[in-house]
Structure 1
Amino acid sequence: MIRLLHTADLHLGLKFTRGYAPSVRDRLVERRLECLRDLVDLANSRSCHVMIVAGDLFDHPRVPKGLIREAAGILARFEGIVAVLPGNHDYVQEEDPVWPVFLDALGERHHLLRRETPCDLRDQGVSLVLFPGVCGSRHSKSNAVGWIPEALAGLDLPSGVRRVGVAHGSLEGLSPDFEGDYFPMTRGELEAMKLDAWLLGHTHVRFPDRDRTSGDRIFYPATPEPDGFDCRHGGHAWIVELDEAGKIEGESVRTGRFRFRSLARSLSTEAEVEALRVEVASFNPERDLLKLELTGRLPGHLYENRSAWLAGLEKSVLYFESDTAGLFREITTADIDREYSSGSFPHRLLSELGKTAGEEGALQVAWDLVMESRS
């Protein structure tokens, strides 16, 4: 039985340019390298034979050389064999700024999958041949696995040797690659090659999207550490087991620390505001980042006091941003009657806007302007 750890899309060197405080940004940057250490520890603790990084270990080709060496040094701690595939963010170049530095620090026992050639691990005691789809650019209308069928046909591999494809790119029906610019692949194409498994990268979500699988042969691990508000999971890696007969089992392991949470809530009552407070209070102030979108019409006292209760929510998370453009004060007939005499222009204007569906924003603006003109 061969046990593999499959990860991808760590994006070391990601700068996190959203409006984070410097202290938060530094923690997000540092965590990605810590996550790589955790992955190596996981692979060692689970006695994996091979650790595969299916592309985008680095976020871009101009990452500092010190970071490249540090990442290679961390991977070199793995007790088995490391195989790293360049992805579309850290693609192979003729004048390559990344991979020669990386290889020099990685050591001879491990492999950089930078050529269209099978990587045979039998001499290292593992009955496994890897077939890499190497990215040589940021974008491509064609995938990088077309060479594999001919190469596979030219090999005379014993039945007990497992064959695993490693590639980076989009998968039709799963990845949002609407223009077909990211080395697009199809399930039919991959399945037709009759490999034992495909370990893929590029799509930052888990596939299959379940904790355990049996018989599935195409895998995306998801990014192991969440990297933004479009990442709605906690970070994962696959432990994949292949036996001599080709039977395959997969276990998805939670690997992330930070959680990027996006909430959209419509509020109209004090009970709903309180429910939001309770929900956000359950978050971790050291690990959770929150983007909040609020809509609705609140009673006057809650609306006027919104800065205070929003500040209370902010204390429950590491990072907080809110969009309240769709949140309005509930302006009632009693409010209008109390503030303005019947028949006056403000009374007529506000009353008319209050009767018209969909005019909450205009009513709010008119109310604020009229109230301001009185002060």
Structure 2
Amino acid sequence: MLNSKEKSSIRIIHTADNHIGKKFSGRYYSPSHQERLIQERFEALERVVESGNERQAHFLVVSGDLFESLHVKVSDINATVAILNKFKGEAILVLPGNHDFYESSSDGLWGRFISKLSDDKIVVLKNYEPLECEIEGNKVVFYPAPCRSKHSSTHTIDWIIAAEKDTDAINIGIAHGNVEGRGFPGDKYFNMTCEELASANMDLWLLGHIHVPYPLKAQTANPGFFYAATHTPDGFDCRHGGCSWYIEINKEKAIYMEQVNTGQLRFHTLSFTLNNHTDIDSFIHTMEQLNPKGSLVKLSLSGRMSQDDIVYLREVIHKLEKEIFYLEIDNRVDLNIDEAYINTYYCSGTLPFQLLHKLSANTQNGLALQLANQLIEQLKK
């Protein structure tokens, strides 16, 4: 393993699946939620750039899906170019992915993107041809495999497999799509196999598409290929906090890797069974561990509690609703109707009193007891 920032090494910050222009539309998010989620994608991209600058990276590599689609707003393109221009290294290499696949029209996404570039520091890897660079005495050759469509049952790395390689150079493949066994199931996302990647004789591959990192964390051995993951989470199916890879590789092909956290929002799906005051306090303790202003939470509550505890829980929920950025609650906590409750809220000898006592005598009548109490309460109104 290299020591971090060894002078003779090539230094790369690797990101992918940024999906700039994602709208987060739908019934779930309010306009203020949408605005924050949209803005986070730009801010997280800035953190990627800052991470690269802090580590004096030579290259920033985007392995596909920098943009959500071919139809993002011009203002989003301008903002993205402005952020990328803050990178202080040698070059920014941007591969078209399946969401932002390459098409050559001048008024399309990539035509507009390229028209905003002031120099050749940002390179759109639109062709199936090697890109050679020399950094600090090291020859580096990048082999890009851009997507030309949103879906494909075949990958685009055949030309890389067939190309002659300079074994004295550092050879790096850049592609977007599934690696079988690592990505999404199905055959329409440019599927590759580990054997095909290995047969290309790359010193490493920088991949995009699956939104989760590979390897899951830094290790000493070269994994052969890296998935950067999305730079900030984008939904409740995303369990990580958003990350990129910082990678060093030297002439001897030894590597150093570091996983860089770049997201500030987290999505949480949480479930609690609450039956008493102690359970509520434990629930509060867990929720206090979250970053309230950076958390989107789907919360499922179940259980049965006393009337006093239900009032307490309502107060807790009201406080959480004011503090947490986004909170969606499925509250199925029922009133625990036991002898103490019946004796307190119903007059002895009345029909409701007798009915509920009769039902409560059998523990298997829990649902019937709840329904009977609800019916009685409705008839009171």
Counterpart of 2:32? 23
Which of 86, 104, 114 is matched with 1:103 structurally?
114
Segments of structure 2 that go 5 or more residues without pairing to the other structure are: 1-8
CA-to-aligned-CA distance 1:188-230 (integer Å, 9 cap, x gap): 2212322111111111111111144432221112111122222
CA-to-aligned-CA distance 1:138-184 (integer Å, 9 cap, x gap): 2222222222211x2xx351x33111111111222222x23222222
Q: Do 1:199 and 1:218's aligned partners in 2 also have CA atoms closer than 8 Å?
A: yes
Question: Is residue 2:266 matched to residue 1:259?
Answer: yes
Identity across the alignment (%): 34
Give the letter aligned to residue 333 of structure 2: L
Q: Do 1:134 and 1:167's aligned partners in 2 also have CA atoms closer than 8 Å?
A: yes
Q: Do 1:285 and 1:315's aligned partners in 2 also have CA atoms closer than 8 Å?
A: no
Which of 51, 58, 66 is matched with 2:67 structurally?
58
Segments of structure 1 that go 5 or more residues without pairing to the other structure are: none
**Residue range with higher mean Cα deviation, 226-235 or 344-353:** 344-353
Counterpart of 1:43? 52
Quote the offset at 1:67 in angstroms.
Answer: 1.4
Secondary structure class of the residue paired with 1:214: coil
Question: Is residue 2:230 matched to residue 1:218?
Answer: no
Counterpart of 1:241? 248
Quote the offset at 1:341 in angstroms.
Answer: 6.3
CA-to-aligned-CA distance 1:35-58 (integer Å, 9 cap, x gap): 222212221221111110011111
Secondary structure class of the residue paired with 1:308: helix
Counterpart of 1:169? 177
Q: Do 1:4 and 1:239's aligned partners in 2 also have CA atoms closer than 8 Å?
A: yes
Q: Label 1:347 to 1:188 Cα distance change in 2 as closer, same or farther (>3 A).
A: farther
Question: Is residue 2:97 matched to residue 1:91?
Answer: no
Counterpart of 1:316? 323
Secondary structure class of the residue paired with 2:256: strand
Secondary structure class of the residue paired with 2:69: coil
Q: For 2:361 and 2:68, locate their aligned partners in 1 and report how far apart those are by CA, in whole Å.
A: 52
Secondary structure class of the residue paired with 2:299: strand
Q: Do 2:59 and 2:92's aligned partners in 1 also have CA atoms closer than 8 Å?
A: yes
CA-to-aligned-CA distance 1:278-312 (integer Å, 9 cap, x gap): 22223323222222111222223223554322111
Question: Is residue 2:7 matched to residue 1:3?
Answer: no
Secondary structure class of the residue paired with 1:206: coil
Q: Do 1:11 and 1:56's aligned partners in 2 also have CA atoms closer than 8 Å?
A: yes
Q: For 2:299 and 2:68, locate their aligned partners in 1 and report how far apart those are by CA, in whole Å.
A: 27
Quote the offset at 1:345 in angstroms.
Answer: 7.6
Matches within 5 A, 1:273-352: 273-324=280-331, 326-336=332-342, 339=346, 344=351, 347-348=354-355, 351-352=358-359
Counterpart of 1:271? 278
Q: Label 1:156 to 1:315 Cα distance change in 2 as closer, same or farther (>3 A).
A: closer
Structure with bigger RCO (C-alpha 8 Å, 6+ apart): 2
Q: Do 1:333 and 1:351's aligned partners in 2 also have CA atoms closer than 8 Å?
A: no
Quote the offset at 1:323 in angstroms.
Answer: 1.0
Q: For 2:148 and 2:360, locate their aligned partners in 1 and report how far apart those are by CA, in whole Å.
A: 60
Q: Do 1:139 and 1:182's aligned partners in 2 also have CA atoms closer than 8 Å?
A: yes
Q: For 2:91 and 2:357, locate their aligned partners in 1 and report how far apart those are by CA, in whole Å.
A: 72
Give the letter aligned to residue 63 of structure 1: V
CA-to-aligned-CA distance 1:75-106 (integer Å, 9 cap, x gap): 13322211001111111135462111111223
**Residue range with higher mean Cα deviation, 23-32 or 342-351:** 342-351
Q: Do 1:3 and 1:47's aligned partners in 2 also have CA atoms closer than 8 Å?
A: yes
Q: Label 1:341 to 1:179 Cα distance change in 2 as closer, same or farther (>3 A).
A: farther
CA-to-aligned-CA distance 1:226-267 (integer Å, 9 cap, x gap): 222222222111011111011222110111111222211111
Which of 182, 193, 215 is matched with 2:200 structurally?
193
Counterpart of 2:6? none
